[in-house]
């Protein structure tokens, strides 16, 4: 079942690029949280996506939002990806794909000829401080980018 605006955001804890634990429940106590699921570190479309957000990072933080990227890459690969690109936000490792699946953002086994069934789809969610979703977008085409303007628009009313 696909998640929609108004639904409860599945809660989770994951390790980040510094191997520190990130808890969605704790993070949203400080304001809205933008979750950006992406298929893989060091790929061109994912690098473009995260750099787009990184270049506009002040627009997100000015709205009180915390941004995190999520992929099934290891924390160590994500640390290097972050270091090389200078992303100003945390990257979380969903190594087993369970969080991606909970958000409807996990490819099935048919995604690649190698049967990589733990890859995240490109997706964006805005989680309000009360734990409900203000915005949801799951892209079936990994070459597309999220609607960054729609994400920012959703953040305008997500602080309540």
Contact 71, 91 (CB under 8 A): yes
Contact 22, 94 (CB under 8 A): no
Say yes or no to pLDDT of 160 above 70: no
Could you tell me if residue 3 is inside a domain?
no
Q: What is the CATH number of the domain that holds 145?
A: 3.40.30.10
Residues 6+ apart with CB under 8 A from 159: 31, 32, 63, 64, 128, 129
Contact 138, 100 (CB under 8 A): no
The active-site residue out of 27, 46, 67, 70 is: 46
Could you tell me if residue 126 is inside a domain?
yes
CA distance 14 to 92: 6
Mark residue 26 as left, alpha or beta (left: phi above 0; alpha: psi -120 to 50; beta: remaining): alpha
pTM for the full predicted model: 0.93
pLDDT at 23: 98
Strands 33-37 and 66-71: parallel
CA distance 159 to 96: 31
Could you tell me if residue 2 is inside a domain?
no
Average pLDDT over residues 49-76: 96
Q: What Rg do the C-alpha atoms of the chain give, in angstroms? A: 14
Q: How many domains is the chain partitioned into structurally?
A: 1
pLDDT at 42: 93
CA distance 11 to 33: 12
Average pLDDT over residues 62-82: 96
pLDDT at 98: 93
Residue 57 known to be catalytic: no
Say yes or no to pLDDT of 43 above 80: yes
Could you tell me if residue 5 is inside a domain?
no
Could you tell me if residue 8 is inside a domain?
no
Looking at every residue in the chain, the average pLDDT score rounds to: 91
Question: Lowest-pLDDT range, 65-69, 88-92, 143-147?
Answer: 143-147
If pLDDT is split at 50, 70 and 90, which confidence band does 147 have? Answer: very high
Alpha helices in 7-160 (DSSP H): 24-27, 44-55, 57-62, 75-85, 98-102, 148-156
CA distance 91 to 79: 8
Domain coverage including residue 88 = 13-156
CA distance 41 to 71: 8
């Amino acid at each position: 079942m696909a998640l929609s605006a108004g639904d409860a955001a599945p809660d989770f804890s994951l390790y980040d690029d510094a191997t520190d634990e990130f808890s969605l429940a704790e993070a949203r106590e400080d304001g809205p949280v933008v979750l950006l699921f992406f298929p893989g570190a060091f790929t061109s479309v994912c690098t473009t996506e995260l750099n787009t957000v990184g270049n506009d990072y002040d627009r997100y933080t000015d709205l009180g939002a915390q941004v995190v990227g999520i992929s099934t890459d290891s924390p160590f690969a994500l640390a290097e990806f972050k270091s090389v690109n200078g992303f100003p936000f945390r990257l979380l490792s969903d190594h087993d794909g369970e969080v991606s699946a909970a958000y409807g953002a996990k490819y099935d086994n048919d995604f690649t000829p190698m049967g990589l069934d733990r890859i995240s789809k490109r997706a964006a969610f805005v989680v309000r401080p009360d734990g409900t979703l203000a915005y949801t977008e799951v892209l079936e085409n990994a070459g597309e980018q999220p609607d960054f303007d729609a994400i920012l628009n959703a953040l305008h009313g997500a602080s309540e």
